[in-house]
Amino acid sequence: MTITRTNLMGLAAVAAAFLAALALFGVLNRSHPAVGGSAGPDPSPGDVRSTDARIASLQSEIRAQPSDVGSYALLADAYLQKVRETGDAGFYTRAAGVLAAAHRRAPRESAVATGLGTLALARHDFRAALTWGMTAHGLAREVVRPYGVIVDAQVELGRYGAAARTLQRMVDLKPNLASYARVSYLRELHGDLAGALAAMQDAVAAGGDEPENVAYVQSLLGDLQFQRGDLAAARVAYGRAAYEFPGYAPANAGLARVDAARGRLGPAIARLRGVVEPCPST
């Protein structure tokens, strides 16, 4: 393709829109707690309600039983899920309020400490996240979820050796989407792209409690394929993510990357505008 002034302007527009999408949806932070760093205990099997329906139900439960700390933790988790689904950072504030109320009622509840650690990760307060993760683990050593918070914080603080040891324990206890996705990220950080791809494929195969979680790892799989230069495989992965969770911003941003790499700048810009413009954070 011959580079002209028009081409350069188009590429600049794609780059600007893509960076905006990354900033809004946290795609730059691969250890985002979307993969298993949830605040509350495991959801009930077969709970296929939408996140909005769960929020409404949990709010009603708390109004009826204000001392039920478990419902607070689950509500905070649902609010954090809404951030991942919509990009609306206002739900962080709601989660923080719910977790603060729960912590006042039960300062030694592991699920609440895990939620506070997850929220700290989302706000990039990694030292606080590590403290909350360790606290949660100390309060309930048999629970796996705090390990995700600890691993993410250790990675973001550059403590890769400690993160690898913590993650190995997490995988040994519960090899699932959350642990495999973190294995992929750690391998990628160490330059093992083939190993990262294999682990992310395991994460996709493991499935998750939320359609968004599966779409998230599908999108990350697309990112890895894109890095390898396999645009066809990347497009398939992003397309599956978009099918799993219609309107999913990281999937659409990924499809735009593929369009741009193939020189289809108009469709790329259109896709990215569709990602950025509806976001409540703008």
In what helix (H) or strand (E) does residue 21 lie, and over which residues does it extend? helix 5-25
pLDDT digits (tens, 9 = 90+) for 115-152: 999 999 999 999 999 999 999 999 999 999 999 999 99
Instruction: Give me the pLDDT at residue 149, please.
Output: 97
Residues 213-225 have pLDDT tens digits of 999 999 999 999 9
Span 108-114, mean pLDDT?
A: 96
Torsion angle of C-alpha atoms 165, 167, 173, 177, degrees rounded to 10: -170
* 209 — pLDDT class (breaks 50, 70, 90): confident
The domains of the chain, with CATH numbers, are 50-140 (1.25.40.10)
Select from 157, 110, 87 the least CA-distant residue to 129: 157
65-89 pLDDT, tens per residue?
999 999 999 999 999 999 988 888 9
pLDDT tens digits, 241-259: 999 999 899 999 999 999 9
